[in-house]
Amino acid sequence: MCEEFLKSRRSIRKFQDKDVPNEVLIKLVEIANNAPSSNNNEPWKFIFIRDKKTKQELSKLHKGASHLADAPIVVAVVAEPDRNPNTWMVDVPNAALYFALAAHCLGLGVGWVASYYNKTASSILGIPSNKVLVTLMSIGYPDYTPKPKTNLKPEDVILYERWS
Ligand SMILES: Cc1cc2nc3c(=O)[nH]c(=O)nc-3n(C[C@H](O)[C@H](O)[C@H](O)COP(=O)(O)O)c2cc1C
């Protein structure tokens, strides 16, 4: 059921020592390309990173990035602001979330990493200055089952008619 599927997605930060074939990653991108974007311009690119040294370098960006080192694959989600100058900051997270949900659907886990120290990460990956690294994600087959978490309740986040 789609409600259970969506509610069961959790961040995964430890992975089985099992490869994720390129065909599977390509499938995830094929699904992510269905994400909504203004004018359907799809202003994103995905960099697949398997090189151990690069993953290790990225894992040192900040404390929350450490799980990148041992993930079978790291994926960088990169925005192309020139292709949708006013909406890329919404378009690209849509694609990233579609990617993460597609991974969950295929039994993979994703550990999202905030793009603090964006310039350092972009330089490690050779991303040009007119593109924006939006996020890094560790991907792999989960090595554990996360416990359920507590979320805000609908009444905590819903307002009616106006901000109040
Ligand atoms: C934009 C963004 C940045 C995040 N950055 C990190 C991070 O740097 N390191 C990390 O371990 N998790 C990171 N997370 C994962 C969040 O900590 C996680 O989504 C949140 O605690 C809710 O848990 P859940 O994903 O299991 O539902 C990030 C998530 C998002 C959406």
Identity of the residue numbered 139: I
Question: To test the ligand 1 pocket, which listed residue (63, 75, 113) has its Cβ within 8 A of the most ligand atoms?
Answer: 113
| Average pLDDT score, the chain | 97
Look at residue 46 and tell me if it is in a domain: yes
Look at residue 12 and tell me if it is in a domain: yes
Look at residue 48 and tell me if it is in a domain: yes
Look at residue 163 and tell me if it is in a domain: no
This prediction has a pTM of 0.97
The CATH number of whichever domain residue 127 belongs to comes to 3.40.109.10
Q: Per the structure, how many domains does the chain have?
A: 1
Look at residue 164 and tell me if it is in a domain: no
Look at residue 137 and tell me if it is in a domain: yes
Per residue in 56-68, pLDDT (tens digit) is 999 999 999 999 9
For residue 132, is pLDDT > 90? yes
Between CA 108 and CA 123 the distance in angstroms is 28
Question: To test the ligand 1 pocket, which listed residue (7, 9, 11, 77) has its Cβ within 8 A of the most ligand atoms?
Answer: 11
97 CA distance to ligand 1 centroid (A)?
A: 12
Please tell me the residue having the least CA distance from ligand 1 atom 8.
Answer: 113
Per residue in 10-55, pLDDT (tens digit) is 999 999 999 999 999 999 999 999 999 999 999 999 999 999 999 9
Please tell me the residue having the least CA distance from ligand 1 atom 1.
Answer: 114
pLDDT confidence band for 1 (50 / 70 / 90): confident
pLDDT at 154: 97
Please tell me the residue having the least CA distance from ligand 1 atom 7.
Answer: 113
Give the range of the structural domain holding residue 80, as residue numbers without chain letter: 2-157
pLDDT confidence band for 148 (50 / 70 / 90): confident
Count of alpha carbons within 13 angstroms of residue 4, beta-carbon side? 1
